[in-house]
Structure 1
Amino acid sequence: MHSGAYGASLAGGAFDFWSFLKQPQTILRFLSWVFSIVVFGTITSKGYTNTTRVEPNNHCMFNDNDHACSFSVAIGVLGFLACVAFLVLDAHFPNISNATDRKRIVTGDLAFSSVWAFLWFICFCVLANQWSKTDSSTVLADAARAIITFSFFSTITWALLFYFAYRRYREGVSEFNQDYTDPAHDRTTPYPHSSSQYGNSDAPTGYQQSPFSNNQGNTGDYQPPAY
């Protein structure tokens, strides 16, 4: 795809669905979307258990640390919603003609991807640390390992999304200048001199000699008619 502004062609072209699906950003967002579903879906369905059957409330499977489960669910849900929002923006991105709006979208993608890659890494470290302190059954172990594994995969996908967003930000505007000024309204540009087009450099542009100038200089040679 020919680059026009921030990694996308200039506005006005038809939307190519298959080319959109083949884009690295689209694939990574879809994978991040799936990984988020696995993390918060598994924790919601299997992450809270009650092995003692004495207390009425369930506890987080990761060393009974409810904060670990709540943090992971929050990161997964917000990441899921962000993937959907950025997929819609990516699909609409080539139809945006304003370079400033494109820059805002790319900057938002850059900031969000960097923050979420960091949060997923924190989530992975917390879950791995809490699970190493947990003594549970094999069924819980399979679910916990899946959550930890996909948290690590989410860190990788969001880091790659940050890389592609940064590359689009560096590309910026390649085919037109946002600071373009119409020469007709640019008062800092001097008018070109056109003295080379005329023999007299002191004469103003477009000056023409009066057809009566020669007669004004020869008034002394006037002869009245003889009757």
Structure 2
Amino acid sequence: MDNVRAYGAGLAGGQFDANVFFKKPTVIFRTIALVLAALLWFSISKGGWHRLSGSSHHQVCLYGSSASTCSFASALGFFSLVGAAALLLLDARLESISSVPSRKRFVTGDLTVSSVFTGIFLIAFFTLWNKFSSFDLDEPYSSGYAKFGILLAFLSTLAWGGAAFFSWRRYEEGAITALTSNFDNEFNGLDGEVREGYGYGGSSEGVGAIGVSNISYQAGAPPLLPTNPNPFVGTEGYGY
């Protein structure tokens, strides 16, 4: 059981392996999301606003002159950065967590957070695009950072969507492992007379008879061994 995997890690717990960790699809997508979030936060804070000529204090948001839109995009970049960093740190500790219920809670939370950020960034992308398209100003202004922010919102949708997809696959892997483990435990808990052969406890003269010698009705054929690699054992796992 030491090599059996559940929810992306071994059941017995293990040590952090950087080579394996940074090759996980969830880690790759989440790292991309972290970088994009930092760039989005910087882009909106740096170039999402334009200071009107003749005024040293009054600024206008390039997304439809809506100050709340600029504030929302900047806050989204910040919280996405914090969320991605927190999930990366927790994912790095996943191998050392031997409790399957605790690991399941983390994977469920990871899937939830990634799905929520995917939906929010998708909404933000269309909102920023629509607001910027409707913006009109009589004086020259630089729109490079504002356009870059729209692109970053779209790329962040893909990054968080990819992380959510592989988080779902990791959750699915853990659910299948738990189901297989429960089946094995229930089968091994049966009486030996039932498990032998076809499960008949009596002799050939009285199938299922009780109180007679323990002679199997018919010896079962050797079990078929799977030829495909087990995705839940050792390093053969999906590595989500």
Q: TM-score range by the shorter chain?
A: 0.7 to 0.9
Aligned counterpart, 1:211 = none
Q: Deviations over 1:140-169 (max 9, x none)?
A: 221111100011000001111110111111
State the partner residue of 1:140: 142
- Listed as ranges, the matches of 1:47-86 within 5 Å are 47-54=48-55, 56-86=57-87
State the Cα distance separating 1:54 from its structure 2 match. Answer: 4.0
* Residue pair 2:49, 2:59 contacting (<8 A) in 1 also: yes
- Contact persistence 1:117–1:154 (CA under 8 A): yes
1:42-191 equivalences in 2 (<5 Å): 42-54=43-55, 56-135=57-136, 140-173=142-175, 174=177, 177=181
**Structure 2: distance between partners of 1:127 and 1:3:** 46
1:53 Cα offset (Å): 2.9
Q: Partners of 1:49 and 1:9 in 2: how far apart?
A: 53
TM-score computed with the length of structure 2 as normaliser: 0.70
Change (3 A) 1:180 1:100: farther
Structure 1, unmatched stretches of 5+, are: 199-227
Aligned-residue offset at 1:181: 7.5
1:218 maps to none
| 1:198-222, Cα deviation, whole Å (9 max, x unpaired) | 9xxxxxxxxxxxxxxxxxxxxxxxx
What displacement does 1:46 show?
2.0
Q: Partners of 2:109 and 2:31 in 1: how far apart? A: 18
Residue of structure 2 in register with 1:16 after alignment: 17
Instruction: Count how many residue pairs are aligned between Structure 1 and Structure 2.
Output: 193
Structure 2 residues without counterparts, runs of 5 or longer:
194-200, 202-209, 215-240
State the TM-score, normalizing by the size of structure 1: 0.74
Amino acid at match of 1:122: I
